[in-house]
Amino acid sequence: MAIKRRPKRLAHGRPPAAKREKEHMSSKQTRTIIRTHHRLQKELAAALRSGDIRLADEINTKIEKNGGLKVYQAASKLGQSKSRGGDSSKVLVEWLKKAEIIGAKEDASSAPYRLLEVGALSTENEISKYPRTIHVKRIDLNSQGPGIQQQDFMERPLPASDDDKFDIISLSLVLNYVPEPVGRGEMLKRIGSFLRQPHNRRSSMLPALFLVLPLPCVANSRYLDEDALLRMMRNLGFILEEKKNTLKLCHYLFSWTGKSDNKRAQKKLIRDGPGMNNFCIVIE
Ligand SMILES: C[S@@+](CC[C@H](N)C(=O)[O-])C[C@H]1O[C@@H](n2cnc3c(N)ncnc32)[C@H](O)[C@@H]1O
CATH code where residue 174 lies? 3.40.50.150
Answer whether residue 267 is part of any domain.
no
Tell me if 140 is assigned to a ligand binding site: yes
Same domain flag for 75 and 93 = no
Phi, psi of 260 (to 5 degrees): -110, 150
Higher pLDDT, 7 or 130: 130
Q: What is the pLDDT of residues 214-249, one digit of tens each?
A: 999 999 999 999 999 999 999 999 999 999 999 999
Q: Which of 159, 163, 160 is nearest to 190 (CA)?
A: 159
Q: Is 41 in the pocket of ligand 1 (CB under 6 A)?
A: no
Domain count, the chain: 2
CA 11 to chain centre: 32
Residues in the chain: 284
Same domain flag for 44 and 155 = no
Measured from the Cβ of residue 6, the count of other Cβ atoms closer than 10 Å reads 5
- Sorting pLDDT into bands at 50, 70 and 90, what band is 28? confident
CB 134, CB 81: distance < 8 Å: no
CA of 143 to the centre of ligand 1 (A): 10
Same domain flag for 179 and 251 = yes
**Cis status, amide bond into 207, omega within 30 of 0:** yes
Answer whether residue 281 is part of any domain.
no
Same domain flag for 94 and 74 = no
Same domain flag for 125 and 223 = yes
Answer whether residue 275 is part of any domain.
no
Is residue 133 over pLDDT 70?
yes
Q: Which of 132, 126, 183 is nearest to 155 (CA)?
A: 183
Check: complex ipTM more than 0.85 = yes
Same domain flag for 105 and 210 = yes
Same domain flag for 42 and 99 = no
Q: What is the pLDDT of residues 134-147, one digit of tens each?
A: 999 999 999 989 99
Q: Which domain holds residue 126?
A: 89-256
Distance CA 155, CA 44 (A): 20
Return the ligand 1 atom nearest residue 80 CA.
9
Same domain flag for 20 and 62 = yes
Average pLDDT over residues 59-64: 92
CB 253, CB 88: distance < 8 Å: no
Answer whether residue 151 is part of any domain.
yes
